[in-house]
A and B are shown apart, each in its own frame.
Chain A
Amino acid sequence: MNRRQYRKLDFVVASLQRRFGPRAIYRYEQPSTPTLLPHIPTGFGELDQALGIGGIPQGQITELLGPATSGKVTLAPKVIAQAQRAGHQAAWVDLGWMLDADYLHRCQVNLKELLVVRPHNGQEALAIAASLAAGELGVLVFDEVTSLKGQNLSPVFLEGALAQIHHRLAHSPCAMIFLTTTYFGPPGDAANYPPGFSLDHYTALRLALKREKWIRQHGDVRGYQAIVTVLKNRWAPPAGPVQIEITFDGTVRGNGL
């Protein structure tokens, strides 16, 4: 194509985008929705890039899966810290009553602006989460899905609760994060969820985390490297695994943050 033909094509593309919106037509090598979607950055640059939209989508459900000490409870506070920096507020549903406020503080979370919910049972936890999902929060973390197992919740209730949360989130700027510890099987295995809790169906983003190695300095453990694999992403093409580094020396840092 000569220059004149290029110019003519550009003109046609521009007029189409004006008429049908910027997502109607785009170059193949560029992502279709670069940063148009409201999102909250994770604070890990490479991971944000791999997610396609620059972070965790708002108004959607995200799931972080992985075994213990894989970085789930570091990544979630880092997202909260980023959201708080942008002026959002956050809440943490702590079903297991295991949350460490000091660790959140070390992850640069402003505790004064964080609501911690410690429900008495799983039913209450899901009902409160559904109410908060519609509450204009920036981030809502549900910690953790595995605790719902063994609470004898009916599959119909669980399915209904998830559908309600999903519906309420669609009208809210809240990025909801479910944390799932893979005690009972590999990531994605139905054994990790209570029956009827079809989280994989409702999530827009699923990230599997796995600890790769410990980082040692002078014999002391100073952090660890983890691999994040994108299992499902509704907004971007699948990206390869991303390595993140979490170090703790007074403050918890991720990739030099």
Chain B
Amino acid sequence: MRILCLLIPHFPASLERRDEPGLDGQPVVIAQEGKVLDCSPEALDQGVREGMKVGRAERLCPEAVVRTAHIARYEGAFERVIEVLAGVSPVVEAGKWGEAYTDISGQTSGFDDEVILCQQVGRKLKQEVGLTGMMGVAGNKFTSYVAAWIIRQGRALLLRPGTEREFLAPLPLELLPLSEEMIKELRLLGIRSMGQFARLPAGAVLDRFGPQGRRIHQLAQGRDERPLLPYQRPPVVEATRQFEPPLGMNEILVRAGGKLAHTCCQRLRKRGLSCQEVHLTLSFEDGSSHSAQQTLSGPTADRLLVEASARELLTRLSCADRVTEARLVLGGLQAQEGKQLTLGVITRPAKVDLVRLVRPLAARFGADSFYGGRVLDSSSPLAELRFAWQPWVEEREKVDSSVE
């Protein structure tokens, strides 16, 4: 089996840079609901991490350009990436955004052919998506991923069949999907590279780390039995209406939009689904077409909500041309879930101001009686290196001043 892995690191940030070339070289942070969804390598160097609050990211990297996430745009672009790979081989597996695998065994007649194929994929990716990626070709998924991960952007690393174990041997343990605890434990045993880990007896690894550890041990040995899981396009519900003669932007078209929403919602209900995205495409008399989309605040199968969304999209697309066809697509489908009703409003307890509570006590009994704990290094055998106690009042004042 020969697997090609395509990696486009920081996919959302790369897309923002593609659409706004002025952002090149600047740290970019993509925010969603107040948290960091993704960031560029420059922001990563400054300590910004995924899942961090945007305020904290801005404090860590004041020069970062913050952009709001456009999930539908990223998904659309990633689907185009999948299509590029699907042009090479029918079996394509999609990982997270910017990570995809395809099985190219049987598509090429030798190593040289694989090189040409990678060049073709790179060119097509640049033409159709406007991005460059990193590619790795190896005998299994994990090794191809590592090969793609260590190579420079826009390059491909191809391994000859049977060389997976030798290739992985000098690489650091951190590239394996090991937990932090396991890495610390292995470091304590003096194991730092995948080759050292691979040389351990299988039984000993199984005894110490269990079946999960054994699976990772096999990965380090260049063995990955996982098959590719073919990508399936997310299901959608759609309805189309053609207008003969073509219609101008008027009340009839708005009513037609409402009817399309009604039809789609009926189909949704029949399948027990709800939707979160509404796409509307209008085709015009001159052959051109325009589309717009809206993401709803939550999954719904409510006809009125979808109708209102369709109407808003129609007004967004309104122009002087006459419309020949309207197509409404509902995406982001998920199973309808019942909501547990409650008799009372669930309230969280009011936050106690511990500093205000402790200050008079500290004045009475001494500040050296009140502490806050902090974990330093969980794996250390010495208690004083594992955690530290910090005077509570001093620590809180430090936190308060940093917030200010």
* CB-based contact B354/A115 at 8 Å: yes
Fill in one digit per residue for B35-70: 1 if any A CB lies within 8 Å of its CB, else 0: 000000000000000000000000000000000000
Q: Which residues of A contact B371 (CB under 8 A)?
A: 115-118
B207 contacts which chain A residues (CB < 8 A)? 218
Query: B349 — which chain A residues lie within 8 A by C-beta?
Result: 86-88, 136, 138, 173
Taken together as a complex, chains A and B put the C-alpha atoms of A205 and B209 apart, in Å, by 40
B163, CB-defined interface residue at 8 Å: no
Residue of B nearest to A217 (CB): B210
- Are B392 and A89 in contact, with the CB atoms below 8 A? no
Nearest CB in chain B to that of A134: its residue = B357
Q: Which residue of A lies closest to B377 (CB)?
A: A102
Q: What sequence of 0s and 1s flags, for each residue 377-399 of chain B, a beta carbon within 8 Å of any chain A beta carbon?
A: 01000010011110010000000
Known A111-B372, A115-B370; judge A106-B389 contact (CB<8 A). Answer: no
| Given A119-B369, A127-B365, A132-B357: A111 and B352 interface contact (C-beta under 8 Å) | no
Q: Which residues of A contact B386 (CB under 8 A)?
A: 100-102
Q: Which chain A residues lie closer than 8 Å to B375 at the CB level? A: 101-102, 105, 111
**Pair A116/B378 contact, Cβ less than 8 Å:** no
Chain B residues whose CB sits within 8 angstroms of the CB of A13 once the complex forms: none
- Interface of B, helix, strand, loop or mixed by DSSP: mixed
A132 to B372, alpha carbons, bound, how many Å? 16
Within 269-307 of B, Cβ neighbours of A (below 8 Å) are at none
With A101-B375, A118-B389 already in contact, the answer to whether A136 and B370 are too (CB < 8 A) is no
Q: Which A residue sits closest to B376, measured CB to CB?
A: A102
Q: Is the CB of A135 within 8 A of B352?
A: yes
- Residues of B with C-beta under 8 A to A176: none
- In the bound complex, residues from chain B placing their C-beta under 8 Å from that of A173 are 349
C-alpha spacing A250/B178, complex, angstroms? 13
CA distance A218 to B354 in the complex (A): 45
Q: Do A115 and B387 touch (CB < 8 A)?
A: no
CB < 8 Å neighbour of A136 from B350, B358, B361: B350
A136 to B392, CA, bound (A): 18
Q: Is A73 an interface residue (CB 8 A)?
A: no
Which of B179, B350, B357, B372 is in CB contact (< 8 Å) with A116? B372
List chain B residues, Cβ under 8 A from A218: 207-208
Chain B residues with CB under 8 A of A102 = 375, 378, 383, 386-387
Q: Which of B361, B366, B372, B374 contacts A131 (CB 8 A)?
A: B361
Measured CA separation A119–B364 after assembly (Å) = 12
- Kindly identify which residue among A86, A89, A131, A250 contacts B352, using a CB–CB cutoff of 8 Å: A89
A24 lies within 8 A of chain B by Cβ: no
Interface membership of B21, Cβ < 8 A: no
The count of chain A contact residues (Cβ–Cβ below 8 Å) is: 32
Tell me if B373 is interfacial: C-beta within 8 Å of chain A: yes
List residues of B (323-371) whose CB comes within 8 Å of A's CBs.
348-352, 354, 357-358, 361, 365-366, 368-371
Contact B365 A87 (CB under 8 A): no
Report the contact-size class of chain B (Cβ under 8 Å from the partner).
20 to 34
Binary CB contact string for chain B from 145 to 166 against chain A (1 if under 8 A, 0 otherwise): 0000000000000000000000
Distance in Å from the Cβ of A169 to the closest Cβ of chain B?
A: 15
A116 touches B370 (CB 8 A): yes
Q: Select from chain B the residue with minimum beta-carbon distance to A91.
A: B354
Most chain A CB within 10 A, of B354, B374, B388, B392, is at: B354
Contact at A128–B361, with CB atoms within 8 Å?
A: yes
A23 CB-CB contact with B under 8 Å: no
Do A100 and B383 contact each other (CB < 8 Å), given the known contacts A87-B349, A132-B357?
yes
B175-209: which have CB < 8 Å to A?
179, 181, 207-208
When distances are taken between beta carbons in the complex, the residues of chain A under 8 Å from B181 are: 250
CB distance from A83 to the nearest CB of B (A): 9
- Closest chain-A Cβ to B263's Cβ sits at a distance in Å of 45
| Closest-CB distance, A118 to chain B (whole angstroms) | 6
Which residues of chain A have C-beta atoms less than 8 A from B392's C-beta? 115-116
- The residues of A that contact B361 with a CB separation of less than 8 Å are 128, 131-132
**Chain B positions 74 through 102: 1 when the CB is less than 8 Å from some CB of chain A, otherwise 0:** 00000000000000000000000000000
Report if A124 contacts B (CB, 8 A): yes
Q: From A89, A116, A120, A135, give the contact of B373 (CB < 8 A).
A: A116
Contact of A101 among B348, B354, B369, B387 (CB under 8 A): B387
Binary B-proximity of A135-176 (CB < 8 A = 1, otherwise 0): 111100000000000000000000000000000000001000
> Closest Cβ of chain A: how far from B401's Cβ, in Å?
16
**How far is B373's CA from A116's CA once the two chains are assembled, in angstroms?**
8
Tell whether A112 pairs with B351 under 8 Å between CB atoms, given A106-B378, A128-B361. no
Q: Does A190 contact B (CB under 8 A)?
A: no
A101 in contact with B389 given A87-B351, A119-B369, A136-B350 (CB within 8 Å): yes
Instruction: Report the minimal beta-carbon distance from B349 to chain A, rounded to whole angstroms.
Output: 5
A-B contact pairs, 14 of them (CB 8 A): A86-B348, A87-B348, A87-B349, A89-B351, A102-B387, A105-B373, A105-B375, A111-B375, A114-B372, A116-B371, A116-B392, A117-B371, A118-B371, A118-B389
List the 7 closest pairs (A to B, CB-CB), nearest first.
A101-B373, A101-B387, A87-B348, A111-B373, A102-B386, A116-B371, A102-B387
Q: A105-B378, A115-B358, A115-B372 are in contact. List 6 more A-B contacts (CB 8 A).
A: A102-B383, A106-B378, A116-B373, A116-B389, A137-B352, A218-B208
- Taking Cβ atoms with an 8 Å cutoff, the residues of B that contact A are 179, 181, 207-208, 348-352, 354, 357-358, 361, 365-366, 368-375, 378, 383, 386-389, 392
Residues of A bordering B, CB below 8 Å: 86-89, 99-102, 104-106, 111-112, 114-120, 124, 127-128, 131-132, 135-138, 173, 218, 250
